[in-house]
Chain A
């Protein structure tokens, strides 16, 4: 039972355009959502997060939007750069422990 779903395995965009990565979740107990970026053969690095009390969080070129009623969040990257090419994981946490549940990831390719 996949509680965090990233339905697009890959996404390709042109440099300078917007990249939109999507994530859906099923567990109503989740109250904190994070995006991680991962290069091959390296550990993921934290990118941006959002609490369930907010619907938007922005950090430079990265913005995360949360739609609680739809149980959907998205990561917007604008403008996209070739160095953004990586696998992006959506993750969620909630309840009394600090365990993160990850989606399967979306491979973003930004073409020059």
Chain B
């Protein structure tokens, strides 16, 4: 079955540590995204990539980094510079091209807790 796989589902981190969240898709989608969800804040865009080896900052990129070396993979690193990393992280992908719908397909999410 095609879909998006995020791992790990739950992750605990000590302050000062970097952690990397994995996101893999087999939908053959060109575009991939990382969103963060906090209570009462909805979904906020961290980074997105419309093509391999290219990515752009979203609305809250500070303290995060990404790479897009393969079409299928878009890992997110939460660095120690991120002030409030405890959140639910969602990876998504979408087709690009015509017709433009913008519909995103989401993974199951990863919950990061900083101890």
CB distance from B97 to the nearest CB of A (A): 9
- Stretch of A11-19, A55-63, A78-86, A99-107 that contacts chain B: A99-107
CB distance from B3 to the nearest CB of A (A): 10
A 75-112 to B, binary, CB cutoff 8 A, 1 in contact else 0: 00000000000000101010001111111110000000
Partner pick for B100 among A32, A36, A44, CB 8 A cutoff: A32
Assess the A49–B101 pair: CB atoms within 8 A. Answer: yes
B31 at the A interface (CB under 8 A): yes
Tell me the dominant secondary structure on chain A's binding face. Answer: loop
B25 at the A interface (CB under 8 A): no
- Partner-B contacts on A (CB < 8 A): 6, 9, 32, 34, 36, 41-46, 49, 89, 91, 93, 97-105
Assess the B50–A102 pair: CB atoms within 8 A. Answer: no
Assess the B111–A44 pair: CB atoms within 8 A. Answer: no
Chain B: interface residue total (CB-CB under 8 A):
30
**Bound Cα distance from A93 to B92, whole angstroms:** 15
Q: Which A-chain residue is minimally distant from B6 (CB atoms)?
A: A43
List CB contacts (< 8 Å) of B50-104 with chain A: 50, 56, 58, 88, 90, 92, 94, 96, 100-104
Assess the A44–B106 pair: CB atoms within 8 A. Answer: yes
Partner pick for A89 among B42, B48, B102, CB 8 A cutoff: B42
A residues near B105, Cβ cutoff 8 Å: 46
**Bound Cα distance from A41 to B104, whole angstroms:** 17
Assess the A89–B100 pair: CB atoms within 8 A. Answer: no
Given A34-B103, A98-B94, A100-B33, 10 more pairs with CB closer than 8 A: A9-B40, A32-B100, A32-B102, A34-B102, A41-B88, A42-B108, A93-B102, A101-B45, A102-B43, A104-B41
What 3 A-B pairs are tightest by C-beta distance, nearest first?
A: A43-B106, A93-B102, A104-B42
A residues near B92, Cβ cutoff 8 Å: 43
**Bound Cα distance from A45 to B92, whole angstroms:** 11
**Bound Cα distance from A104 to B42, whole angstroms:** 4
Partner pick for B42 among A43, A93, A98, A105, CB 8 A cutoff: A105
**Bound Cα distance from A6 to B94, whole angstroms:** 24
